[in-house]
Structure 1
Amino acid sequence: MALEAWFMDESNEDQQLPHHRNPKQLVSLDYLADLGVLYWRLNPNDYENDEELRKIREARGYNYMDLLDLCPEKVANYEEKVKNFYTEHIHADEEIRYCLEGSGYFDVRDKEDQWIRIWIKAGDLIILPAGIYHRFTLDTNNYVKLMRLFVGEPVWTAYNRPQENHPARKEYIKGLTWKLGVPLEAH
């Protein structure tokens, strides 16, 4: 099954709900790619021997890997961590996540500053570009097992919005402007 993504409603209800607009407005993989969000569908049952995953890691230089089980039973200060993940932020580097079990939501901002909700499930590998505003939360299943990949030693620093003068944000906006061929106002 392909990745599912949609424009979010403006509700402040429970962050773990889907938050579809009415009517639903789905987002294509091409639209996400225009924002710099990359996607692969892999086999999560054999990730240790997955040739496609090995090729992706090699081609993109992902030499660091760890696994994160995110659920109330396995994470100390679970509620606080989930709240922190859901705070809108950027990173100076790509954020690479491969869902091995469970599910959750990555929300990213589009060029018009609208939220897009990306529902990741087992087998989904996504890459968020450095400088994109985003956040993460679990869905109502309340469990996800993620592989985190990184180039070099991991730096998990989140820079909460606003970050318009951060070099990664400036480079991200410059890339969007170049793709469009017209100036793009920073969000």
Structure 2
Amino acid sequence: MEAWYMDDSDEDQRLPHKLDPNQPVALEELQKIGVFYWKLNADIYENDPELERIRKERGYSYTDIVNIRKDTLPNYEEKLKMFYEEHLHLDDEIRYILDGRGYFDVRDKDDRWIRIAMSKGDMITLPAGIYHRFTMDDTNYAKAMRLFVGEPVWKAYNRPADDFEIRQKYLNSLKCT
């Protein structure tokens, strides 16, 4: 996992979009905005005791696996555009990359974009109420496990969604850090 502040370029969303010079973002800075990260062994995800421990501790009771690639995901380009729309969820978003690569972009306390490059073995949680988006990198392939507390909730609320109670709760949590 690597994270950095993004440039404002309108070029292909699948490019890294690093500033020049690059401005890396440390894991500790991500934690301050509620983003948490683990490095796991994706080769043993089906029987990984570390994944089981995390799931048990955090209450991740539901999982499924998605393959994001041009030849298996219907309307691939349209789906990528939808994933890239800035949005929030009422629940945490938890993703574990089992193969391939992709980017999660999140807003920091000052509303600047941070790009998080994820690859095989990377697991991340984005807190409910954080504005974020997802895109592939130039490989156009990721296999990911989606994890949920309880039944899965797929609803995304595009920005602006500042009036949502969960957004206000999230913003208040930033004041405490």
Q: Provide the identity percentage.
A: 58
Q: Which residue of 2 aligns with 1:37?
A: 35
Question: Which residue, 161, 164, 169 being the options, matches 1:163?
Answer: 161
Q: Which residue of 2 aligns with 1:89?
A: 87
Distance 1:25 1:8 in 2: 8
4+ residue stretches of structure 1 with deviation over 3 A? none
TM-score of the two chains, using structure 2 as the length reference: 0.99
Residue 9 of structure 1: how far off its partner (Å)? 0.4
Query: TM-score under structure 1 normalisation?
Result: 0.94
Q: CA offsets, 1:61-110, max 9 Å, x none? A: 10100000001100111111110000000000000000000000000000
Q: Which runs of 5 or more structure 2 residues have no equivalent in the other structure? A: none
Q: Please report how far the alpha carbon of residue 168 of structure 1 lies from its aligned counterpart in structure 2 after TM superposition.
A: 1.1
- In the TM superposition, what are the counterparts of 1:87-166 in structure 2 within 5 Å? 87-166=85-164
CA distance in 2, matches of 1:78, 1:152: 28
Residues of 2 paired with 1:34 and 1:147: CA distance?
24
Secondary structure of 1:12's partner? coil
| Cα separation, 2, equivalents of 1:41 and 1:16 | 23
| Counterpart among 6, 10, 13 of residue 11 in structure 2 | 13
Counterpart residue number, 1:182: none
**Aligned position for 1:184:** none
Find the counterpart in structure 2 of residue 175 from structure 1.
173
- What's the offset of the Cα at 1:58? 0.4
- 2-structure distance, mates of 1:56, 1:167: 27
Which of 53, 56, 64 is equivalent to 1:55? 53
The one-letter code of the counterpart of 1:145 is K
Q: How many residues end up aligned between the 2 structures?
A: 177
